[in-house]
Structure formats: C-alpha cells, structure tokens
Amino acid sequence: MADVEYLKSLLTAHPDFPQKTVAQSSSKKIDVVVGLDARGFLFGPIIAMRLGAAFVPVRKKGKLPGECVTATYEKEYGTDSFEMQADAIKPGQNVVVIDDLIATGGSAKAAGELVAKCGGKTLEYLFIIELSFLKAAEKLDAPLYSLVQVDDD
C-alpha cells in the first residue's frame, strides 16, 4: 500500500466538525515560511531550513512580544484572531504558509492577510491534510497544495 493510501486509511471523518511538504509549484525564491499555531510550528522550521528561508510563527492573539499585526477569522462557532510580529516579513518577500490541516480555510486566510499587511506575497499554502469538501481553496489568495485530500464520503 502506498504511503499516501496508508495515511488515508488511518483517517476518519467527523461530520459537522471542522473545529508537496516543500513548496512545489513556485519557481520564485521563497524568503519566508509561515507556520500556523500550533502544528505548523512542527513542519515550518524544517521546511524553512531546507529552503534556506526564514521561519515566522503565526500565533493566537496575545502570545507574541513586541508590535504585532492582527487578523480576525471566522471559526465554526465564533471568531478568533491570529497575530504576527509586525517586522517579521519585509515588503516584497515571498512567503509560503504551512499547517497540518485545512478545513474551512479561515485561519489560513487570516495568515495570508497578515503576510499582506507586512508587505509580503503569499506564493502558496501547504497542508498535510485537506478537507476538500469544505472548499477552503476558494477563500485563499494563492494556490493550495495538500498531500491527502479527504472528500465527504
């Protein structure tokens, strides 16, 4: 059984609960890898090191020191906020956003907004697992790539 098929066999769907590991499509140099709180912190630094890029964490509001930019996003049952240090990304830098899972796309979209507020350009969004039936890609300002796509079967 192929690795991806094996991963798929381990997954289970939970209806009504949405509570290439390295940038693969862009020919542009990637300057920054942004990892989302918290599992993006596991993959992001490794990928950043392999690409010779900086790593920037995006955290829940109030968790980072210094001046921060904030973006609010919709969750399944309310709103939440993400922050990034205001000087973490320089204007014109190319950015990849990474996390383990994308469901509705709200947190990924908020991360893209933070990148834009700092003057960066999001080239793509990378995820291990995508709940493709929730159509998160439609909310994002750059292509979405995932290793495993889960349909609503």
Give 93-123 pLDDT, tens digit per residue. Answer: 999 999 999 999 999 999 999 999 999 999 9
Question: Taking the CA atoms of the chain, what radius of gyration do you get in angstroms?
Answer: 15
Asked if the bond preceding 111 is cis, omega within 30° of 0, the reply is no
How many whole angstroms separate alpha carbon 153 and alpha carbon 151?
6
3-class secondary-structure state, position 69 = strand
Active site residue 124: no
Separation CA 64–CA 75 (nearest Å): 21
What CA–CA distance (Å, rounded) separates 71 from 76? Answer: 17
Would you place residue 1 in the very low, low, confident or very high pLDDT band (cuts 50, 70, 90)? low
pLDDT, one tens digit per residue, over 6-38 is 777 777 665 554 434 454 555 789 999 999 999
For 16-86, strand residue ranges (E) read 32-36, 54-60, 68-75, 78-85
| Confidence at residue 150, expressed as pLDDT on a 0 to 100 scale | 93
Give pLDDT, residue 26.
59
Active-site choice (74, 76, 124, 130):
76
Task: Determine how β-strand 54-60 pairs with β-strand 32-36.
Answer: parallel
Active-site residue (options: 5, 39, 67, 130): 39
pLDDT at 131: 95
Annotation marks residue 67 as catalytic: no
Structural domains of the chain sorted by starting position, each given as residue range(s) with its CATH number in brackets: 28-149 (3.40.50.2020)
Which residues does 2 contact at the CB level (< 8 Å), separation at least 6?
Answer: none
Mean pLDDT (the chain) is: 89
Cα(42)–Cα(33) distance, integer angstroms: 12
| 27-31, 70-74, 132-136, range with the lowest pLDDT | 27-31
